[in-house]
Amino acid sequence: MWPKVWHFLSFGAPGVLIYVCFVLAPIVISFWYSLTNYNPFNPPISYVGWENYFLLFQDKEFLTALKVTSILTVIVVVVPNALGLGVALLLDRPGWLYNALRSVFFTPVILSSVVVSIIWSRLLDNEGPLNTFLRFLGVENPPGWLSDPDVALYSLASIVCWQMLGFCVVVYLAGLQGVPQELLEAAQIDGAGPVRRFRAVTWPLLAPSLTINTVVLLISAFKTYDYVKVITNGGPGAGATATIAFNVLATGFDANHVGYASAMAIVMLLIVAVVTAVVLKLLQRREVDL
Amino acid sequence: MRWVRPSVALVVGAIFFVPLYLVLVNVFKQGGKIASSPATLPVPPTLDNVVSVLTRPDQLFWVSLTNSIVVTVLSVIVLIVLSAMLGHYLARTRRTWTRVLTLVLLAGLMIPPQVILIPISDVLRIAGLMATLQGLVLFNVGYYVPFGVFVFTGFIRGVPVELEEAAVLDGASRSQVFWRIVFPLLRPATASVMIFLGVWIWNDFIDPLIILGPSQGTTITTGIYRSIGQYQADLGSVFALMALATLPVLIFYLALQKQFVKGLTGGATKG
């Protein structure tokens, strides 16, 4: 009933146009930059082919960033998912106490990552509340949570986990609401204990929640930037917490190696696209219809 | 054994709450005491920190607040209009080409902003929009339109097309049909889009940092970031600034808590 061309031009085109201008075209431009030695302060631009990509995979700094990003992503995908499920099972009861606690867990989700970063960098400071508390407990040399290169990445990952936990809790709680009571009762009558009931009934039915949490955590962990910028600025030491997302902007804007930074960005895009597609496929295969 | 679950829940919740507690008590504590005793209750409480942030000579808080409100409100309004219309087109036209278009838009949900920020800054510079609020709004609209479309398309599929046909027979124009009849039915979707995009854009850090640049004003988040350097010695003001920056979003969340959860739930059950 809608004339097709008119419908597209008046309803579809404005949104598509702005998406093309601000997302698709920049990706194409980025790819073009990545094949050049573009540096705004060092013209002229010349075409260098795949050289930036070859350099990238011999660049120790980039390989470190790849490792840092992978560790961070694995921790941030697994921990809030697991703890979130635990907390959701704990809070899956009616009553004011559980309602209030749900709000407590969700609050960090709506905080700005800058605010979260500042709070935690105070908390984890060498002379901050956490170490003061540890010394009070009798620990003589509490770790430098953010100043020790071996520990800083794990501290950073914990901070991201803290902020994302509430998201997982709410999604799992919603999933738990969708588990039919009759199924659980039927399983109980058949003699299944709480663990068996969880494994055989609840967990398979939570598959869509697991999918959502995993994909959201994956995408947001992979582009971790704000926490690194605010808390450690890539340090301590030689890029102990510098993620790829952080290095792309540091190389492109601070060091002005735009061509090289663009190659990094394109590699980053490919990794996130492939990993997300594979994970999504695998997880959706688990989902069952009731 | 009925006390086991509530006590475990309470202990876990309390541990989780510690960082938030630190902000709450330190906002109302004298600056000097924050470093020496960060965890104690503020006795006697003081409003000095809040007042000093609100009355800074350079108006950092007020300027940032205004910028954040302008950017968030404009971006969200434009996003709702554009993605509802695009969603309508995609939901009502079933062709191979619309299916491809939907996939291309969905792919946008996972594109990290870092991948496009370098060329974006060149594009905006050429258009004369770099370091302007308009530039940031345009970028937000382009970057978040996939999310809006994702929410609206699914919802519009559930609105019977017969409703639109009947209105056309009664002589309504096509945009009247959409804005007067379909759009009011999309309220839950509009609420989800408004809530999520509102919070994301308000809390966004990297895009205003790059697009607004160092000289041209700050939003709430980049304002806090720039002030940590200046405030090194004055922790009380940092905490007060963070609390004030969070207040609007917190009020927004508390007012729309049910819709917030419903938005997440809708996604979780539909998969």
Which residue in B105, B203, B225 is closest to A230 by CB distance? Answer: B225
Residues in chain B predicted with pLDDT less than 50, given as ranges, are 267-271
Nearest CA in chain A to B199: A110
pLDDT band at A261 (very low <50, low <70, confident <90, very high): very high
In this prediction the pTM is 0.90
pLDDT above 60: residue A290: no
SS (H, E, C) B207-234: HHHHHCCCCCCCCHHHHHHHHHHHCCCC
Contacts of A14 in chain B (CB under 8 A): 82, 85-86
pLDDT above 90: residue A32: yes
Nearest CA in chain A to B240: A115
Backbone Cα Rg of chain A: 24
C-alpha B44/C-alpha B223 separation (Å) is 29
The type of residue at A165 is L
C-alpha A159/C-alpha A143 separation (Å) is 16
Q: CA B6, B262, B110, A151: dihedral to nearest 10 degrees? A: -20
Could you tell me the CA-to-CA distances from A100 to A84, B24, B51, B257 in Å, in that order? 16, 17, 30, 12
CB contact at 8 A, B202 and B224:
no
| CA quadruple A232, A238, A244, A245: dihedral sign | positive
Q: Which of A261-270, A275-284, B195-204, B207-216 has the lowest mean pLDDT?
A: B207-216
Plot region of A95 (φ>0 → left; ψ -120 to 50 → alpha; else → beta):
left
Direct distance between the N- and C-terminal alpha carbons of chain A, in angstroms, rounded to an integer: 35
Residue B6 has a CB neighbour count (10 Å cut-off) of 15
Alpha-carbon gap: A186 to the closest alpha carbon of chain B (Å): 22
Cβ neighbours of residue B241 closer than 8 Å, sequence gap 6 or more:
B53, B61, B223, B224, B227, B231
The type of residue at B121 is S
CB contact at 8 A, B271 and B225:
no
Asked if A176 is an interface residue toward chain B (Cβ–Cβ < 8 A), one would say no
Alpha-carbon gap: A189 to the closest alpha carbon of chain B (Å): 23
Provide the mean pLDDT of chain A.
Answer: 90
Contact A16/B101, CB-based, under 8 Å? yes
Contact B13/A222, CB-based, under 8 Å? no
Alpha-carbon gap: B167 to the closest alpha carbon of chain A (Å): 12
C-alpha A34/C-alpha B119 separation (Å) is 11
Give per-residue burial for B174-193: e unless 16+ CB within 10 Å, then b: beebbeebbbeebeebbbbb
| CA quadruple B170, B176, B177, B183: dihedral sign | negative
Contact B9/A101, CB-based, under 8 Å? yes
Contact B202/A177, CB-based, under 8 Å? no
Contact A22/B116, CB-based, under 8 Å? yes
Which residue in A2, A87, A230 is closest to B92 by CB distance? Answer: A2
pLDDT above 70: residue A288: no
pLDDT at B231: 62
The type of residue at B187 is R
pLDDT at B154: 87
Of A91 and A239, more confident: A91
Which residues face A36 on adjacent strands?
A47
CB contact at 8 A, A108 and A165:
yes
Size of interface A-B (CB pairs under 8 A): 251
Residues 86..105 of A with a Cβ closer than 8 Å to B: which? 87, 90-91, 93, 97-98, 101, 103-105
CB contact at 8 A, A186 and A101:
no
> Where do runs of H (alpha helix) occur along A178-230?
181-189, 194-197, 203-205, 207-222, 226-227
Cβ neighbours of residue A105 closer than 8 Å, sequence gap 6 or more:
A87, A91, A165, A166, A169, A170, B13, B16
Backbone Cα Rg of chain B: 23
Query: B1, B25, B118: which to substitute to probe chain A, counting the most A Cβ within 10 Å?
Result: B118
Which residues face A47 on adjacent strands?
A36
Which residue in A23, A244, A276 is closest to B142 by CB distance? Answer: A23
In three-state secondary structure terms, B23 is: helix
Residue with the two structure tokens 């606690």:
A101
Quick one: chain A helix, strand, coil %, rounded to 5? 75, 0, 25
Contact B145/A15, CB-based, under 8 Å? yes
Which residue in A97, A123, A171 is closest to B19 by CB distance? Answer: A123
C-alpha A121/C-alpha B197 separation (Å) is 27
Nearest CA in chain B to A273: B110
Q: Hey, what domains does chain A have and what are their CATH numbers?
A: 59-289 (1.10.3720.10)
Plot region of A46 (φ>0 → left; ψ -120 to 50 → alpha; else → beta):
beta
In three-state secondary structure terms, A36 is: strand
Q: What is the pLDDT of residues A186-227, one digit of tens each?
A: 998 998 888 999 998 899 999 989 999 999 999 999 999 999
The type of residue at A82 is A
Give per-residue burial for B16-32: e unless 16+ CB within 10 Å, then b: bbebbebbebbbbbebe
Contacts of B85 in chain A (CB under 8 A): 10-12, 14-15
Residue A160 has a CB neighbour count (10 Å cut-off) of 25
Nearest CA in chain A to B262: A174
Asked if A111 is an interface residue toward chain B (Cβ–Cβ < 8 A), one would say yes
Contacts of B27 in chain A (CB under 8 A): none
